[in-house]
Every structure is written in structure tokens, then in C-alpha cells.
Structure 1
Amino acid sequence: MESSNIGKNLYATVDPNINIRSEAENKLKLAKESNFVQYINQLSNEFCKSENDPYLRQIAGLLIKNAFTSKDNYESEEKARTWLNFPEDIKMELKNNLLVLLSQQSDKIVIGTACQIISIIAKIELSHNKSSELLHKLVNNIIEKNAYTKKSSTVCLAYLTEDIADVCNESKSKYAFTQPDLDLILTAIINSLCEPAEESTHCANMKVLYNLMSFIEHNFKTQVERDIIMKTVIDGCKDTERQSVQ
């Protein structure tokens, strides 16, 4: 599909006219089947263009996300392998573009969609014992970056830890995160919760902490770490000014 046409077809997928909608869906399906790498690359370009309408960007982003995950476990595994076998240069470009988006004050639906895509990609790579580089970049954003990037990266981490927890609960495995990775995440989240931040950021931090509970048995065996974690949770329960955190 020519790049100049993909935007029109994305818009047309939500057209109230069923004939226009069906034609657009068929064209996108054909593009996906004929050249999947080009299809994802074009969707990525549309999603990352700041001048595009946020709604169009969301449609493109959700198509990227759905290309690599599914509610069906077997299909989801097949899609995960598709990502793992993707050309490295395309993978790196997409990941870098998504990380850049986290630092931009884009529309809320665009950032939310970017967080979902990053979560899916990181989950695939961690679940297949690939590099945890994407995870580390999210954690570094929480440690070092401005408030806006911290918030977006924390939301990403909340999605990711929830997805990983779900996968590990289903497979009875606890090894998607290494202990050094867990220590890194815990330190960043605990420190972030001790800093001034808006309610939604602290709420996302608490979600990360909650999602990690089934992984941090080792940390609870150390009294100092256990005390710090529990104090953070108790302080959150007392936070009457931020109801969602409480």
C-alpha cells in the first residue's frame, strides 16, 4: 500500500458507511498479508507523526498493538514470534520512536496507546529471555526525566508488570523478571512514591508495586527492604488527599 493512502484507509475503518468501512478494512488486510514489515512500518510512521489527528494516530497504534498480541494464547504466541523475527532495524526504530513519544506532550489517547504498544513489546522480549533494554529505559525515565516523562513511563510500567504478572500466573512461572531487574524497578518506584507528583502518577506507581507483589518474595526476606515496602504501602493507604492512590 502506498504510504499516501494509508491515512485515508485508517480513517475509513471507522466510517459509518459499512461499504466504505469494509473496503478500507480489506485494503489494510491485503497490505498486511502482502508485506507485513512494510505494513507495520507505515502504521508506525502514521502513529508517530505529530501533525496527524490524534484519533488517526490511535487507530494506527492499536493496529500495531493488535498485530503482536491476541486474547487467544496460541495466537498471541504466534504473533510474539513474528515480533521476535522482525528485522532488527525496524524494531529499533519503532521502539525508539515510541520512547520519544513518552517525552512529548501529545494527546492523552496517543500516549496511552504508545504505553500499550511498549508494554506488549517489552512483555514479548522479557517472556522470551531477550534483552530487558526497553524495561531499563522506562525505569531510567522514572529516575531521571521530567514529570511528564516520568508519568508516561510509569503508566507503561504499570501495563507491563500487569501483563507479565498475568502471563506468569497462567504458566506458574516467576522468572520473567530477573532479580536485578526487580531491584531496579522497586527502587525507582519506591523513590518516586516519596517524591511530590500528581495523583495519577502516584496511582500508576502503586499499580506497579501491586503487580510486583508476586515476584518480590526474595525482597521480603530482607527486613530492611520489607519495612520500606510496607511503609510505602501504609503511607499510600493514609493518603486522604489522593483517593485513587488510597
Structure 2
Amino acid sequence: MDLATVLQNAQHPNPEIRNQAEAYLNQAVEAQYGPFLLALTVELATESRPAPGRQLAGLYIKNLITATDDAILERKTNQWLQCDPATQSQIRAGFLEAIKSPVQVVSHTAAQILAAYGAVDVPRNAWPDLLAALFNNINSAEIQDVTKVASLEALGYMCDVMSPEAVDNNVVNQILSAIIDGMRSDRRNDVRLAAVTALNNSLDFTSQNFENQVERNAIMQAICEATQASEVKIRERAYECFATIADLYYDKLQPYAETIFNLTLSAISKDDPAVGMQAIELWNTICDTEVNLLADIEDGDANVSDYLKLTEVAAPSLTPLLLQCMTKQEEDADEDDAWNISMAAATLLEGIARTIENSIVPLVLPFITENINNANWRLKEAALMAFGMILDGPTGETLSPLVVQAMPILITCLRDPNTLVRDTSAWTIGRICELHKSCLSNEILPHMVAGLGASLEDPSSKVVSQACFAMHNLSEACSDESEANSNVLSHFMPQMLTKLLAITVREDWEQDNIRATAYEAI
């Protein structure tokens, strides 16, 4: 049986055939590691072989040097390091040949292999011509673009797994220069996309370069230019790079804050939704960083000067744009669970509220007041969602009067003809029960429980799930009185238990996890 057939059989649905093939492969690795790895490499690099078999060979090669378990990884690494040097040279040459394949699936697989074995060899100076070969692939006019793409992928993957301390600083600089060069605006889009993706993978690896202002400026300039590329995916990846930088190098963002602000506002308001969502994710990262930093400052673990106030400065312009995005909901909320710009904007609004706290209220309140009773369901639902999203951040003193005013409207919205409006109303009530239970007066409680009781019987499983969430949080809010003979919920308990138990036997009990959610509420 030839090697290609064995590799195919290792994927066979029949357990007996699959087990026999796997046993053969494992035995070959243990008995003849070097020759067997070389045979796999020949299978990968031979252009006349079928692409699926070459890919299988490549994946098996990669698995021989990678592992999630440290002990297994050490054993596999030692197997490679102890391989006969002459055989190693042939294998490495085969890897470099495979990355030049015009077959994309083969060159992509070879990129992963080069990165995995390169991450072992480069820090040990055991493969001195690897990086030179990859740099030549990227820069040579005679090399086809599919190879340039794969070579950039290999550099990015390698940076993702190598520690910068393990390699010479000149090596890091050379890798970064090659990636930045690949991002040039005169490059083909597929090459630029591979380069900007590689840059994102290498940002942690190139931490020393971020300490140098000239080099940092060059990196930021390259990313800024990539945000203006004609290809959507390139622009999206560029904002992903910015988000990674915000996470890793927040303290270096101040000189670039205005440029990032202008670019992201344009992306959110005018660009493709995929790009806009990634720009929103950048600000989510900034918000998370600043919330954590403010907590550290309060605990005495950070200095006030470390806080750049990026969210605070951006919020007055960013918030109206997010509210506009929140009106772009998906038509069919019951069937389309895909992440969209409306959800992304709502999540960022919550992040801003947690960061700037009370200052968010005047930025959002006019929108809520104007639209919470709007006949247009999109505007109404966006107003409800906005209110729910700012409940965590501002103080109870600031929000209490607003919550009291909003409760009757929220209860009424539980009966709205639109499913998404009912869904968001129940969720917002649940958030109030969780975060602002002091606002739940004895006067409003019967109306709220009656409204949620009806929602527990809603035809939409999404609404039912949120009503269970609200009942769960309402019960938690009353837990302080659990030792008493009765509390404000006692009167409603028999009816609520009956309705919650009925949910567990609904025909759609598997939808939106409503059976488990009902049991949690019970």
C-alpha cells in the first residue's frame, strides 16, 4: 500500500480501516522517523501528486512537530532535533520547494509546516537559509504571488509561536521589514492581505520595535494605509491590527489617537459592515483596557497619568454613531443569529458606559426619550437596547429616576407586535432586576410579574429565554428575604412555577436553551 493511500485511510469513516492506517503511520514514525518524514515531504512537494493527498501529507508532517501538551511537544521537538542532519537538509529543502507550489492548498499547508519547524530551528540557528528564502520569495519579481502569500503566512505563523527573546534582534527586524514591505499599496491585494494578517500575528513578537518611535511610526503608518485599501478584507485586518495594538501597547496610543479616531468614525459610518464592526472592536478593546486601568488606579496599582482618557474624548462623537448603527437590526431576529453591526454597536455602548459611567447618560438619554415609544420598531428596539446597555456603569443615584420612569413602558413593550422589541424589553427588565433592584417598588412589581408571566408563554423561544432570565434575576434580587416566612414574590410563586415548568415541556424546548433557562429560574 502506497503512502498516499495510507494517509487517505487514516481519514476513513470505517474505524477498522482508519485504525489500521493510524497504526501503520505511528509505527513508521517510531521505527524510521527520518526516512518516513522525508517520504512524507516528497509526497507534499511532488507537483504530479493529487492535491488532497499532498495536503494530508503536509498536515501529518505538521502534526509531527506540534502538540498542545508540553511533554508531548518536547518529545516531538527532540525527535526532530535528533534526526540525521543530512536527512534534515533534504526535508527542509522539500518544505521550501512545497511553498513554491502553484496549488494554493499545498503552499498554504507548507507555510504552516515552515513556521512550525522554523520556530524550532531558527532560534537554534539550525536553518540559516530559511528566512533568506522566504524574504526572496516575497521580494523577487520572478516569484508567483501564491508563493509570496504563503511566505508571508509562514512569517506570521512563525512569529505567533516564537518568543522574541529566543532570536537575535536583527532577525526580528528583518521579519518585520519583510512583512511591512508586503503591505505596500502597489502590491496585489492577496499579497497585502497576507502581509497585514502576518503583521497582526507578529505584533507581540515585535514588542522591541514598538519601543522605538521611528519603527513604531512606520508600523502605524503601514496600518493606516491598509485601512484605505480597495479590498474589504485588507481594511478589516488593518483594524484588527489596531485592536491588537490597543491591547498590547495602550500606553503608546496617544500620538495616534486623533488619526485612529477619524479612521474608525469613517469606517463605522461609511465602510462595509465587516470593516465597521472591526473598527468597533478596536474601541471595545480600548474600553476594556481603560476599565481595567481605572480599577488598577483605584486599587493603587497604576498611576493616574497612565489613563489616556481615549474613550472619554471619543464618546461624544462615537455614541451618536453607535445609536444610529443600533437601528440596523436584522429583519428576522428568530432565525438570524449572525453577529451584525447593530449588536456590535450595542456591545460597545455598554463598554463606553462602564468606562465613563455617569457621563454616558446625557449622550444617550435624548435618543431613548425620543424613540422608546416610536411606531418604527427599529427605533423603538434600539432605544430599549440603549437603555439596557447603559445600566452598568452609571451610579444608582443617576439611573434610579430613569428606571422608575421607564418600567411602565418596558412592561408595555413586552406585548409589542415585534418579536425583537419584546425580546429586548424582557432582557432590559432582567438587567434592571440584576443591577437596580432597589428601583422595583411594590407598586410596579405586580405589573412587572404579570408582564413577564405572559412573556413566559410567548410563541418566540427568544422572548421566553429572556423572560426566564428576568424571573431568575428578580428572584435573586429577593434572596435577601429568603429567611422570612414570605416576601414580595410569595404571592406570585405558584403561578410562576407553573408557567416555568410548562416551558420545560414545550415542543421548542431545545431552542435558545429555554428548558435549562427555565430550570435555572425555578
TM-score interval, smaller chain:
0.7 to 0.9
Deviations, residues 185-221 of structure 1 (Å, cap 9, x unaligned): 2222222211423333212211222233234344344
Answer with 1 or 2: which has the greater Rg: 2
- Corresponding position: 1:244 with 2:233: yes
Q: Which residue of 1 aligns with 2:96?
A: 99
Which of 56, 78, 83 lines up with 1:81 in the alignment? 78
Q: Residues of 2 paired with 1:129 and 1:154: CA distance? A: 20
Secondary structure at the aligned position of 2:165 is classed as coil
Structure 2, unmatched stretches of 5+, are 236-522
How many angstroms does 1:6 deviate by?
Answer: 2.1
In the alignment, is the contact (CA less than 8 A) between 1:122 and 1:132 conserved in 2?
no
Structure 1 stretches of at least 4 aligned residues deviating more than 6 Å after TM superposition: none
Q: Which residue of 2 aligns with 1:171?
A: none
* Residue identity opposite 1:47 in structure 2: L
How many angstroms does 1:91 deviate by?
Answer: 1.2
* Residue identity opposite 1:30 in structure 2: Q
Q: Which residue of 2 aligns with 1:15?
A: 12
- Corresponding position: 1:126 with 2:116: no
> Cα gap change, 1:49/1:9 in structure 2, threshold over 3 Å: closer, same or farther?
same
Q: Residues of 1 paired with 2:47 and 2:227: CA distance? A: 39
The number of residues matched between the two structures is: 233
* Residue identity opposite 1:135 in structure 2: L
* Residue identity opposite 2:165 in structure 1: Y
Q: Which residue of 2 aligns with 1:201?
A: 191
Q: Which residue of 1 aligns with 2:156?
A: 158
In the alignment, is the contact (CA less than 8 A) between 1:129 and 1:176 conserved in 2?
no
Alignment of 1:153-192 (within 5 A): 153-164=151-162, 168=163, 174-192=164-182
- Corresponding position: 1:135 with 2:131: yes
Q: Residues of 2 paired with 1:216 and 1:33: CA distance? A: 37
- Corresponding position: 1:30 with 2:4: no
How many angstroms does 1:124 deviate by?
Answer: 0.8
> Cα gap change, 1:219/1:152 in structure 2, threshold over 3 Å: closer, same or farther?
same
Q: Residues of 2 paired with 1:218 and 1:8: CA distance? A: 47
> What RMSD in Å do the two structures reach over aligned CA positions?
2.1
Q: Which residue of 1 aligns with 2:59?
A: 62
How many angstroms does 1:44 deviate by?
Answer: 1.7
Q: Residues of 1 paired with 2:32 and 2:93: CA distance? A: 22
In the alignment, is the contact (CA less than 8 A) between 1:115 and 1:155 conserved in 2?
yes
Q: Which piece of structure 1 moves more, 127-136 or 205-214?
A: 127-136
How many angstroms does 1:128 deviate by?
Answer: 4.2
Q: Residues of 2 paired with 1:224 and 1:22: CA distance? A: 56
How many angstroms does 1:224 deviate by?
Answer: 3.0
TM-score by length of 1: 0.85
TM-score by length of 2: 0.42
Q: Residues of 2 paired with 1:220 and 1:100: CA distance? A: 34
Identity percentage over the alignment?
27
How many angstroms does 1:184 deviate by?
Answer: 1.3
Which of 88, 103, 112 lines up with 2:108 in the alignment? 112
Larger RCO of the pair (alpha carbons < 8 Å, separation 6+): 1
> Cα gap change, 1:20/1:182 in structure 2, threshold over 3 Å: closer, same or farther?
same
Deviations, residues 205-243 of structure 1 (Å, cap 9, x unaligned): 11222233234344344443232221111111233x222
How many angstroms does 1:27 deviate by?
Answer: 1.9
* Residue identity opposite 1:148 in structure 2: V
Q: Which residue of 1 aligns with 2:221?
A: 231
Secondary structure at the aligned position of 2:166 is classed as coil
Structure 1, unmatched stretches of 5+, are 169-173
